[in-house]
Amino acid sequence: GGVNFEIQDITAHGTNLVAIAHQVSGVSTALLLKSTGAGGAWSAATSTGITATAVGQRVYSNGASIYYFAAGTSYLSTTLQRSTDTGANFTTIGTVNGWVRSITEFADRDGTNRVVFATEDTLYYTDNTSIFKLWSMPHPCRSLVNLGGNLLIFMDAMRVWLYKADGTTVDVSPGG
C-alpha cells in the first residue's frame, strides 16, 4: 500500500505549495512535501531532519524564503528554521518558548518587512539570523492579521489589540 501522511500546515511559495507533514505511523521526523507548480503533482517527501511532535508544526513563505516552525516533542519550545532553496536545505535561526500560534509579515518602524509570529503569550520577529521579542501579550494569542500597516492580534477572552510599527499597543477589543 501507499504511505499515509498527515498534513500539519501548508503555504504557497511562488507557484508551488509547500506542506509540512508526518507519516501517520512509525516516523517522528517532520517531512516536507512540495508541489511541482500550479496544478502539478507532489514531489516525493523529503525529511527535514527534525524530530518533532505530530502536531504543532507550521510553515510560512514570504516569497523569498520558507520558514519552518517545529514544535518540540514536549510542546514547550519551537525551533525556527529557514530555507532559501525551496526547502532543499534549512538553517536554524533559533528557538523560542511555546508553540507558534500565528505567522504573518509586518513592516517595522523603518519600513522593513519582517516575518512576525506569536506563541501563546509572546510576539516575536526574525531578521533571518536571529529571533527578537517584540511584546509580552496580556492574553493568549490566537491569530495575527496585518491590516493597514498595523498588526491586529486576536486573543482569548475576546480581546483584540493593535500593535503599531512604532511598537505602541492599543486595546481595541469590542466593548472596550
Query: What is the pTM (predicted TM-score) of this model?
Result: 0.87
- Compute the C-alpha angle 89/90/93, nearest 5°: 160
Note the pLDDT tens digit of each residue in 94-144. 999 998 999 999 998 888 999 999 999 999 999 999 999 999 999 999 999
Is the predicted pLDDT of residue 54 greater than 60, yes or no?
no
Q: What is the pLDDT of residue 124?
A: 97
Predicted confidence at residue 56, as pLDDT, reads: 64
**CB–CB of 37/16 below 8 Å?**
yes
H or E stretch covering 168: none
Q: Which residue has the cell 517522528?
A: 28
Model pLDDT for residues 137-168, shown as the tens digit of each residue: 999 999 999 998 899 999 999 999 999 999 99
d(CA 126, CA 73): 23
Averaged over 37-60, what is the pLDDT? Answer: 68
